[in-house]
Amino acid sequence: MWQSFASYIPIISSAVPNTLILTFLSFAIATALGIAMAFAEVFATKAVSIVVDWIARVLRGIPLIISIFIVFYGLPKVGVVLPSLYAAILGIAIVDAGYQEQIFRGAIKAVSTKQLEAAYSLGLARAEAFLYIVLPQAFRIALPSWINDFTVVLKDTSIAYAIGVVEVFTQAVHVAQVIMDYVWPLIFVSVIYLAICYPLSLLSNYLHSKLKSMGMLGSGM
């Protein structure tokens, strides 16, 4: 069966760039939204903080397939028609923003107030202390989880299949239907996901222990 499959490999491989575009764009949008929500939650007034927390919870609670369907089939009803690729990007980003808000909120809160007080004692203003002390430390604290989240988003992009986006999983299914064998196409596409995720998960583990040994994971000091 491998022989009949082998000649279709390029068809699946050629969709790798699309999978990467889906991943990077939805991840980037989710990061921007996630950091903005996290900052609002930690530093804005109580009322804003509660509303933002609630929004993030709702976003995390939406099943991915529903989010994508809402963007692809729902938005045209209010006059916004997006090509399937962009609809998938937005649908994935919205849900992931809820998860990234959690990652960055935890990280910002883990930066000790003692670090802020040291900055204030030198004569720094609040905004400068956030920019030079809280942000860089929060980003380091968030880094391992943030990379892990990237691998989650990568695998989530396979759901774009449901609205016909050409990405590796969609192509694998199409090939499977042509050669009437699901085994090799699914193994192959899994290897593609694994080949990207595995090194990143190693990197995440390495950074975690590295940052921990450097005392940068919010030891509370």
Provide the binding-site residues for other proteins, judged by CB under 8 A.
114-115, 117-125, 128, 132-133, 136-137, 140, 213-216, 219, 221
Q: Residue 57 or 126: which CB sits closer to other proteins?
A: 126
> Residue 13, exposed/middle/buried by CB under 10 A (0-12, 13-18, 19+)?
middle
Please count the other Cβ atoms lying within 10 Å of the Cβ belonging to residue 118.
13
User: Minimum distance from CB of 167 to other proteins (Å)?
Assistant: 38
Q: Residue 128 or 198: which CB sits closer to other proteins?
A: 128
Q: Residue 80 or 118: which CB sits closer to other proteins?
A: 118
User: Minimum distance from CB of 162 to other proteins (Å)?
Assistant: 42
List Cα–Cα distances, 3 to 14, 170, 171, 179, in angstroms: 19, 21, 18, 10
Q: Residue 139 or 193: which CB sits closer to other proteins?
A: 139
User: Minimum distance from CB of 190 to other proteins (Å)?
Assistant: 38
Say how far apart CA 182 and CA 180 lie, in whole Å. Answer: 7
User: Minimum distance from CB of 218 to other proteins (Å)?
Assistant: 9
Quote the DSSP letter at residue 159: G
The two tokens of residue 82 are: 């997006």
